[in-house]
Structure 1
Amino acid sequence: MRRRPRAWYFRLMGSARRVAIIGGGAWGLALATAAAAACGEGEVVLFSRRDHASDTPRGVRVVHDLAEAARHARLIVLAVPTAACRTVARALGDHIDGSHYVVHGVRGLEGEDLATVSEIVRDETPSHRTGALGGPALAQDLAAGRPSVLVTGSRFPEVNEAVVGAFGSPTLRVYPTRDLLGLEWASALVGCLTLAVGYAQALKMSPGLVAALISRAIGEASRIAAAAGGEEKTLLGLAGYGDLLASIAQAERPEILVGAALAKGLPRAEAVKASGLRVEAVELIPRVSHWAEARGVRAPIFRALASGVVEGRKADAILLELMTLPVELDA
């Protein structure tokens, strides 16, 4: 393969070091902080409808106009809830063109067909050079400037290169992958599995049984992602295992709190309310289970989660179901 001239690469890096973050929640603020650390003063804008007078990251300029955000940078990063993605993308589409790269850091899938956010962006905007962010980086670590790792995924090398150039720094290592679909599905499925682990831990399951749950669940998630068009190996790396291990280490993570509340017998609505935040995994789990069943993908853990944990079956019945399933040949 012919190598790009080194001068071309550095011109690209220079043009990509401006970033516009769309979304002023905790994740958007964390990404803006990380980008400002890499890009420098004045290179990062944050579009938000909130007043950030007291929590604007250093070096970041807050704007309240999507058009202004789109004019600022070629690289645009969506950091909004899944339910808002289509509306935000449609509004953004009025202000961008095919030269923009639209990357998202959203942990979710839309509707019964489980559309990815990159598919939503391609539907609603002129941009077809899309990508995603995932992996084990935690919002609080990015916000505090602690050493972290992100994964960027895109089918377009120039998008991955732009993300690496815009976010990579001495405290943030960014690994690229071409498996965009695998990365998006991994991020969504890890949220579901984090809830399952929170449930298992609250039941005081032994470390060995929790380890078995994690290992088998990741294998199951990799089959689901492969059926969606991703690569199984993506779930076995930073975007899957790595992300899950980081997620379950956070005792106050919303999915962990909801899983624990469900294990105590709280109804689903009360469990979600107790976490204080919207937890997309609660609504996503049944949709993933139905999607997998419709496509003949064996997913007993997701089925148990859907019919058991989320719908309120007793824990001993769920555990009995999982422990008496036929044993697969490959452990």
Structure 2
Amino acid sequence: MALRIGIFGQGAWGRSLHQVFRQAGHKLSGWSRRDGGDPADLLADQDLMLCAVAMAGVPELSQRLSSQWPSGLPLISCTKGLNQRLRLTASQLWQRSIPNLRSLVLSGPNLAGELDGGLPAASVLASSHSDLAQALQLELSSQQLRLYTNTDPIGTELSGALKNVMAVAAGVCDGLGLGANAKAALLTRGLAEMGRLSQQLGGESDTLYGLAGLGDLLATANSRLSRNHRFGVHLAEGLTAEQAIQAIGATVEGPSTAVAALAMADGGEALLPICAQVVGLIEGRFTPQEAVRALMDRDLKPEER
């Protein structure tokens, strides 16, 4: 059955989702801050809403629409990031503004450039509303995009956000020419770091080794299409964080996510050494070479999952 789908956000990710679901036979309409207009106008007569705006725009948008959201209209949050001030994920921000909202999370290894080229991909729909997730899985899956489901939206969002930080670190590793051994070690320890914070905040361990965790990490940390990876390469080349973002010319969620992750871990047991080094690089407190040295000089200990 063809669905009427509205998408907030018409950046690279929003446009890719628009194309994928339109080609699958659904009826799409969109809104973006750049084009102007009232986002509430998009809510009328829709079966489903998607939000693909950058993390910085989610608090204002969700609050703006809180009193106008139609009862029962579900939302799939496609934003990957963390809010430092409120220490919440994107779907938690929506739920905070609209308590009765039936929300889901879409995440996985889905580089926009590859989807635009018609290449196949798989992602996960995560929600505590398992019946809704399974129904939308059937409606939205296509020849190009295969969807799986889980009941761990928090772990799914945390994995999808934190992999951007690890992709920045992987870009630094590649930019410095440290080789495959070092990068493999970095990503393995990065996955463990992602798991520690996810567990502290209520995520399930199995999610970390699925599409939203390991799957997304492998894609984002190894592709030239990844903005976060390119950002890390630019840092290794000697650019400041501001210069690197200007060179990319698009939103890069990894830097702000690293800062938010440290804030969310504060007071808990999760140790985040890679996030800490990424934040130090962004703030210009040390060089990429010094960041690598700091990680290599950490106390020796048993390897834990």
Q: Give the TM-score, by structure 2 length.
A: 0.91
Deviation at 1:64, TM superposition (A): 5.1
Deviations 1:61-83 (A, max 9, x none): xx955344212323111010111
The CA deviation at 1:101 is: 0.8
Aligned residue in 1 for 2:239 = 266
1:205 matched residue in structure 2: 178
For residues 66 and 286 of structure 1, the distance between their equivalents in structure 2, rounded to whole angstroms, comes to 29
Number of equivalenced pairs? 304
Alpha-carbon contact 1:121-1:127 (below 8 Å) kept: no
Further displaced range: 82-91 or 211-220: 82-91
Partner of 1:23: 9
Partner of 2:220: 247
The SS at the match of 1:131 is strand
- Distance across 1 between alignment mates of 2:145 and 2:264: 35
Mark the CA change 1:127 to 1:143 in structure 2 (over 3 Å): closer, same or farther: farther
Aligned counterpart in structure 2 of residue 48 of structure 1, from 32, 47, 50: 32
| 1:103 equivalent in alignment to 2:72 | no
Tell me, yes or no, if the aligned pair for 1:98 and 1:126 is still in contact at 8 Å. no
Q: Which moved more, 1:223-232 or 1:65-74?
A: 65-74
Q: How many Å apart are 1:310 and its aligned residue?
A: 4.4
**Structure 1 residues 66 and 278, CA, compared in 2 at 3 Å: closer, same or farther?**
closer
CA distance in 2, matches of 1:276, 1:238: 27
Classify 1:66/1:273 alpha carbon distance in 2 versus 1 (closer, same or farther; 3 Å). Answer: closer
Cα RMSD (Å)? 2.1
Query: Could you tell me how far apart the structure 1 residues matched to 2:28 and 2:59 are?
Result: 23
1:47–1:69: 8 Å Cα contact kept in structure 2?
yes
In structure 2, the CA distance between the partners of 1:169 and 1:281, relative to structure 1 (3 Å rule), is same
Summarize the Cα distance change of 1:138–1:240 in structure 2 as closer, same or farther, 3 Å threshold: same
Q: Do 1:150 and 1:174's aligned partners in 2 also have CA atoms closer than 8 Å?
A: yes
1: distance between equivalents of 2:63 and 2:252?
24
Quote how far apart the aligned CAs of 1:139 are: 1.3
Which of 112, 119, 136 aligns to 2:109? It is 136
Contact 1:135 1:149 in 2 (8 A): yes
Equivalent pairs: percent with the same residue? 28
Q: How do 1:1-331 and structure 2 match up within 5 A?
A: 14=1, 17-40=3-26, 43-49=27-33, 65-125=38-98, 127-308=100-281, 310-330=283-303
**1:306–1:65 CA distance, 2 compared to 1 (3 A):** closer
Report the AA paired with residue 140 of structure 2: F
| 1:8 matched residue in structure 2 | none
Q: Where does structure 2 lack aligned partners over 5 or more consecutive residues?
A: none
Q: From the superposition, tell whether residues 202 and 312 of structure 1 become closer, same or farther in structure 2 (CA, over 3 Å).
A: farther
Contact 1:137 1:243 in 2 (8 A): yes
Work out whether residues 289 and 303 of structure 1, in 8 Å CA contact, stay in contact via their aligned partners in 2: yes
Which residue pairs with 1:5 in the alignment? none
- Paired with 1:195 and 1:187, the residues of 2 have a C-alpha distance of 14
How has the CA–CA distance of structure 1 residues 77 and 263 changed in structure 2, closer, same or farther, with 3 Å as cutoff? same
Task: Report if the CA contact (8 A) 2:84-2:263 is conserved.
Answer: no
Query: Deviation of residue 49 (structure 1)?
Result: 5.0
1:97, 1:127 within 8 Å by CA — same for their partners in 2?
A: no
> What is the letter of the counterpart of residue 44 of structure 1?
L
CA distance in 2, matches of 1:69, 1:127: 19
**Once the 2 structures are TM-superposed, how far is the Cα of residue 50 of structure 1 from its aligned partner?**
5.2
**C-alpha distance in structure 2 between counterparts of 1:167 and 1:139, whole Å:** 17
Higher Cα Rg, which structure = 1
| Displacement after TM superposition at 1:252 (Å) | 4.1
Q: Which has the higher contact order (CA 8 A, sep 6+)?
A: 2
User: Structure 2 counterpart of 1:38, which letter?
Assistant: A
Secondary structure at the counterpart of residue 72 of structure 1? coil
For normalisation by structure 1, the TM-score amounts to: 0.85
Paired with 2:100 and 2:80, the residues of 1 have a C-alpha distance of: 20
Q: Is the 8 A contact 2:106 2:125 kept in 1?
A: yes
Structure 2 distance, partners of 1:192, 1:223, is 14
* C-alpha spacing 1:65/1:309, structure 2 compared with 1 (3 Å): closer
